[in-house]
Homo-oligomer: A and B are copies of this chain.
Amino acid sequence: MTTVIECHPLVAAKPEVPKSTTVNGVDTGKLSATIEAIKADTSLANFQFRLSNQWVGGGENRSRIDDFYGVGQEMRHKQPFFLVSDEPEVLLSEDRGPNAGEYVLHALASCLTGALVYHAAARGIAVKGIATRLEGDIDLQGFLGLSKDVRRGFKNIRVMFDIDADCDDSGKQELIEMAQAYSPVFDMLSNGLPVSCRLDDDVKKAETT
């Protein structure tokens, strides 16, 4: 967590970088510089994340994650990431990866944890450990189209946090509330968002293995 990023664009945008202190593995100097740079030019906060997916067969499909847009420029991950989805045998496939619902739970766990850690760091609150357990309930009559009264997705998701930090339960509860207040995925799942789908024969078929 102490790697110096020579060309960090947000830090570069602000000549005077505050003295760095690492809290929760987050460089709070760079975090402050990021916030100041965005306050000075809000367009730097516009990011676009992207993904290419290919169907393999049955319930299996694979994604490649590589480039994204942020801080006013095209960017790229250190290396491409590959993700495999599948369904278990009871749902008629080969069980070669987690299913889409389990990926939703992972996205939510990651995002709540990240939001908690970053916002605690910004406030100088040291967190020693976070473990979460998530459960999502779904009635597959919805997916199968057997009932119009049953929704397709999870009916609800429960997140249980075990937090190791030098504060009492009331303080830990505040950390959880902070995570909920700032987590992008918590917002998306709680409030929904516009999702548009269209046919486009020009989709570039990316290598997904």
Contact = CB atoms under 8 A, between A and B. Distances in A.
A17 to B, nearest CB: 13
Contacts of A130: 54-55, 61
For chain A, which range describes its interface: under 10, 10 to 19, 20 to 34, or 35 or more residues?
35 or more
Given A100-B111, A184-B101, A30 B134 contact: no
- Taken together, the copies of this chain in the complex come to 2
Contact of A47 (B95, B140, B169): B140
Interface in A126-161: 127, 129-146, 151-161
B10 A117 contact: no
A202 B49 CA distance: 35
Contact of A195 (B8, B103, B159): B159
A38 to B, nearest CB: 6
A144 B184 CA distance: 10
A195 B190 contact: yes
Interface of A: 1, 3, 5, 8-10, 24-27, 30-31, 34-35, 38-39, 42, 45-55, 57-61, 63, 65, 68, 70-71, 75, 77-78, 81, 83, 85, 87-95, 97-115, 117-119, 127, 129-146, 151-163, 169, 172-173, 176, 179-206
